[in-house]
Amino acid sequence: MIPFAIITLAFLLCFRLTCYYYRKAYYRSFWQSPPACAVSEPHKKYSGETRFPLIVQNFHRYFFYIAILISLINTYDAVLAFHGKGGGFGFGLGNIILVGNVVCLWIYTLSCHSCRNITAGRLNHFSRHPVRHKLWMWVSVLNARHMMWAWITLGTLMLTDAYIGLVASGTLTDLRFVH
């Protein structure tokens, strides 16, 4: 049986690779476009995101929807992890790590530019849509730190996966506070 994390990895990787923050980094690194501020474009003809491989960037919003679905599943898993061995409530270090990871992933996902566009990107009059405007403002605040959350979630993902792997292999025992 293939683990869920392996199945979702391709979709989450596509979500990150098409992310506007990561685009900035690798456009400058690989395509030298733009190499820096006030430096002329080294390419004679720039086609933007209209040809392969850059046209794949246009699928970011669809990867965003998949990331939301995966975040919902991860949230469900984090809640299930609170069930103790006897079926009752249990709480340990693994729960703190799982919940911390899920919270960070939600912040990263909801701070996405696609989320801003979905909440109110096409509105001409915010005054006619006060709830959507409020959501857009909230997502815009998160969006200001999108780069930071991109890096934080890479760290929390590695920590969470390492901890779960070590506990699952029997190398570590989950430190339980409430059994």
Domain that holds residue 105: 4-178
Q: What is the pLDDT of residue 104?
A: 96
- 3-class DSSP state of 92: strand
Give the mean pLDDT of the chain: 84
Helix (H) or strand (E) holding 176: strand 176-178
Measured between alpha carbons, how far is 77 from 73 in angstroms, rounded to an integer? 6
Phi then psi for 89, rounded to 5 degrees? -75, 135
Measured between alpha carbons, how far is 82 from 31 in angstroms, rounded to an integer? 47
> Residue 42 pLDDT more than 70?
no
Provide the number of structural domains found in the chain.
1
> Residue 105 pLDDT more than 90?
yes
pTM above 0.85, yes or no: no
- CB-CB contact of 11 with 62 (8 Å): no
Mean pLDDT score, 120-146 = 86
> Residue 178 pLDDT more than 90?
no
pLDDT tens string 49-79: 677 766 777 788 899 999 999 999 999 999 9
Q: What is the pLDDT of residue 102?
A: 96
pLDDT category of residue 162 using cuts at 50, 70 and 90: very high
| 95: Cα separation from own chain's centroid | 20
